[in-house]
Structure 1
Amino acid sequence: MAKRVAIIGGGSSGLCAIKACLQEGLEPICFEATRDIGGLWRFEHGSSRASVAAGGVAHSRPQRGPGEPPTAALAIPPLHCPWPAPSHALLPRSPHTQTSVCCVSKRPDFAATGQWEVVTESEGKQEAAVFDAVLVCSGHHTKAHLPLSAFPGIEKFKGRYLHSRDYKDARDFTDKRVVIIGIGNSGSDLAVEISQTAKQVSSRSGVLVGRGYPIDIVLTTRMKTFLQQLMSSSMVSDFAEKQLNARFNHSHYGLKPKHRILDQHPTVNDDLPNRIISGRVLVKPNIQEFTETSAIFEDGTREDIDAVVFATGYSFSFPFLEKYVKVVENQIPLYKFMFPPDLEKPTLAFIGLIQPLGAIMPISELQCRWATRVFKGLNKLPPQHDMEADIKYVKSQRHTIQVDYIPYMDELACQVGVKPNLLTLFLTDPKLALEVTFGPCTPYQYRLRGPGKWEGAREAILTQQQRVLKPLQTRHVEKQALAPAVPLIFKLVGAVAVLAVIFAYL
């Protein structure tokens, strides 16, 4: 009889968990508190839960090839939808909805069996069931962080104020004057979208990263990660900031922040500069205080406003597991951000409880592949003291669960046995090795070998650049032959030199 696995949450991580369980011969039972699956990617007008806005898109592409198991269990044809994001309308439906998890507790014989009792509630009725393992896939966008005490006068403001999780549609702000507090990804997206209907939008300054292509395609390569490890943080920041300012001068747009680019999670928005230069978005300093009808900024300027949107992030908690895991200042002790190290049996794992510098869906999938193999006994976890020594967090309320995409994916891949072997690839398949090293690190790389190997992975990697460009090529443009800026011989010599350094560090 297949082991029964309780999956808490039916968002992208929960869908990954369902797929991984099925591939390992486990029986997944998914509990989703809302009326449909999709999590953050399902749009609901009028709902107060965290979800995508009406115009929301992603900054990374869900790579998938014909016949390949979907990266995030989202059935999205890669050649027939734009690369920036899947639409929230493309998600499949699920029967396991409107069921909340009240309590997860160890069975009396947990030390021997590793089993859990899960109490759920649906339509006012509670039920208890026994499971051999539990995957917590509810994520970290759960409780809105609303720092009202940091903004004097907000209690007397007569207009409307709300957290970004309560925002759904720009039409709610038609002809209004809006201030957005926070200029991270949510804040910049809201500034762009609301400015299409509002009279004026004011937003605080911050870093902008915009390259015109999905960020994981542009930045997430093994070569760039390797070179970053060789350079100091200051050198990397200098190079990255120079590249970004080559497109437009962030100081001229009021977007240059006080911190360096690597000191905070990057903001990605290609539309914001256009909204600033057209005057629809004003970039302002921090807010000093609110009055009944206006905001006063630190530079002494005042703006009459009708609404305030706090794009100030989230805190997370797991009340149904409070006996076994404690969250303190957005920190929870988990091995590889997944496994509690002090359980007698490794039958509980958290999926997607990370803030990656890259796409989260491929990470969730690889986490699920590892967790299900641990549940089956195919992979073993280290001793408790080794796991506890490995746990570390970024010292920041907003970034305690932040990880770098490729290093973290490779850590997971080593556990599963699917990390690509670059030396072997260069000796046996140089063409593929070059794309794996210098091209975007898409999830196909973790399907080349080991458990879950996919025969189409090689072809998917070699053709991924064409699929990125495919949605853009609605008009044929003749290519002009240009003389190479660097002779081929110098390119080859340079490539050999770089590879020699790589192998020296392998």
Structure 2
Amino acid sequence: QVLLSTTGGAWVFRRVFDSGYPWDMVIITRFQTAFRNFLPTPILTWLMEKKMNSWFNHANYGLIPENKIHPREPVINDELPGRIITGKVLIKPSIKEVKENSVIFNNTPKEEPIDIIVFATGYTFHFPFLDDSVVKVEDGQASLYKYIFPTHLKKPTMAVIGLIKPLGSLLCTGEIQARWVVQVLKGVSKLPPTSVMIEEVNERKTNKHSGYGIEFSKPLEFDYIPYVDELLTAINAKPNLFSMLWTDPRLALTIFFGPCTPYQFRLVGTGKWKGAREAIMTQWDRTFKATKTRTVQESPSRFEILLKLFSFLVFLVAVFLIFL
């Protein structure tokens, strides 16, 4: 028996999305990002809540967030609803008091016997091996330009890779960070003046930003694609979709509407790979190659045949009327 204590509740998101697709390959696209940035936050929040509750009603499971005006990032877990409905996990409010062998939860006077308490409260970070003049940590945030470079060094001889929490792939983001750092160390890419870097760091600290209908308020959290595009621009590796529409429209549309996979970061500029285009166009085939261990020959249904026949007849009638 597990008692799960939560103060503010949480939205629970599943890794396996609609029709069995991986959620990140459906949600993390350039089209979705542009669409989210276009919609007002209240509408975006409503759409997110509707999508979250389409899997299971969070209120019925005791998980509905208290602050629905500024919801936080979701918890990604496929098993939690099943564990709750079978009674293996019980959702409880915050802990009021811890006793020798039991705890008392808020709004529940009954003592609950407890064997083990696991604190899932996160962690704080600091750099004990660095002086505060190099990297200063305040309120859980480090003074790093683009989350990478200290702002007060005379020369960019030090960089921090991976001290981030993107709503997307951490490994892919860290790889782009490393590519930019190499270009800076080689002198190919230049950092802006110190005053500009400090101004941007302070802006990231003070301004909460949002995406997916949620608000990123914790340190190191940000939307994946806009941040990666900033770094790609710095190393001249960001694909120009507008010009690509004229030279390779199929690839441009796939990049815009399809998953934002790291192959996109190897199309142009530094680190260009000649196999990137083919990898992008065939990424869905590889995604389900491992799961299609049993294939069934699909035959068109009677409805599909009738629909195609009806469409053909409508086309013939339209042609006849035009040339009549």
State TM-score, norm by structure 1: 0.54
In percent, how many aligned pairs have the same letter? 45
Q: Go from structure 1 to structure 2 and tell me whether the alpha carbon gap of 1:262 and 1:224 turns closer, same or farther (over 3 Å shift).
A: farther
Note if 1:393 corresponds to 2:212.
no
1:394 Cα offset (Å): 6.1
1:262 Cα offset (Å): 6.2
Q: Go from structure 1 to structure 2 and tell me whether the alpha carbon gap of 1:180 and 1:242 turns closer, same or farther (over 3 Å shift).
A: closer
Which residues in structure 2 correspond to 1:28-39 (within 5 Å)?
Answer: none
Q: Is the 8 A contact 1:275 1:281 kept in 2?
A: yes
Aligned to 1:448: 267
Which residues in structure 2 correspond to 1:32-431 (within 5 Å)?
Answer: 177-181=1-5, 205-212=9-16, 213-260=21-68, 263-300=71-108, 301-323=110-132, 324-391=134-201, 392-393=204-205, 399-431=218-250
Q: Deviation per CA, 1:441-498: give whole Å up to 9, x if none.
A: 11111100001001111111111112222222122134464759xxx9xxxxxxxxxx
Q: Deviation per CA, 1:95-134: give whole Å up to 9, x if none.
A: xxxxxxxxxxxxxxxxxxxxxxxxxxxxxxxxxxxxxxxx
3-state SS of paired residue (1:292): coil
Separation in 2, partners of 1:277, 1:261: 27
Alpha-carbon RMSD: 2.3
Q: Deviation per CA, 1:8-41: give whole Å up to 9, x if none.
A: xxxxxxxxxxxxxxxxxxxxxxxxxxxxxxxxxx
3-state SS of paired residue (2:290): helix
Q: Go from structure 1 to structure 2 and tell me whether the alpha carbon gap of 1:239 and 1:207 turns closer, same or farther (over 3 Å shift).
A: same
Aligned to 2:256: 437
Separation in 2, partners of 1:389, 1:341: 10
Aligned to 2:314: none
Separation in 2, partners of 1:480, 1:206: 44
- Decide which structure has the larger Cα Rg and report it: 2
Q: Go from structure 1 to structure 2 and tell me whether the alpha carbon gap of 1:312 and 1:214 turns closer, same or farther (over 3 Å shift).
A: farther
Q: Is the 8 A contact 1:207 1:257 kept in 2?
A: yes
Q: Is the 8 A contact 2:93 2:105 kept in 1?
A: yes
The structure with more helix, counted as a fraction of residues: 2
Q: Is the 8 A contact 2:61 2:84 kept in 1?
A: yes
Separation in 1, partners of 2:119, 2:194: 40
Separation in 2, partners of 1:462, 1:210: 26
Q: Is the 8 A contact 2:11 2:52 kept in 1?
A: no
Q: Is the 8 A contact 1:180 1:309 kept in 2?
A: no
Q: Is the 8 A contact 1:178 1:309 kept in 2?
A: no
**1:400 aligned partner, one-letter code:** P
Separation in 2, partners of 1:261, 1:461: 38
Q: Deviation per CA, 1:387-419: give whole Å up to 9, x if none.
A: 111111267998111111000000110001111
Aligned to 1:39: none
Structure 2: 5+ residue stretches without partners: 209-215, 312-324
Separation in 2, partners of 1:223, 1:267: 23
**1:373 aligned partner, one-letter code:** Q
Q: Go from structure 1 to structure 2 and tell me whether the alpha carbon gap of 1:178 and 1:332 turns closer, same or farther (over 3 Å shift).
A: same
**1:209 aligned partner, one-letter code:** F
Q: Go from structure 1 to structure 2 and tell me whether the alpha carbon gap of 1:246 and 1:211 turns closer, same or farther (over 3 Å shift).
A: farther
Q: Go from structure 1 to structure 2 and tell me whether the alpha carbon gap of 1:328 and 1:235 turns closer, same or farther (over 3 Å shift).
A: same
Q: Is the 8 A contact 1:182 1:310 kept in 2?
A: no
1:281 Cα offset (Å): 0.8
Separation in 2, partners of 1:449, 1:481: 41
Aligned residues: 289
Q: Is the 8 A contact 1:221 1:440 kept in 2?
A: yes
Q: Is the 8 A contact 1:207 1:266 kept in 2?
A: yes
Structure 1: 5+ residue stretches without partners: 1-176, 184-203, 489-506
Q: Is the 8 A contact 1:339 1:350 kept in 2?
A: yes
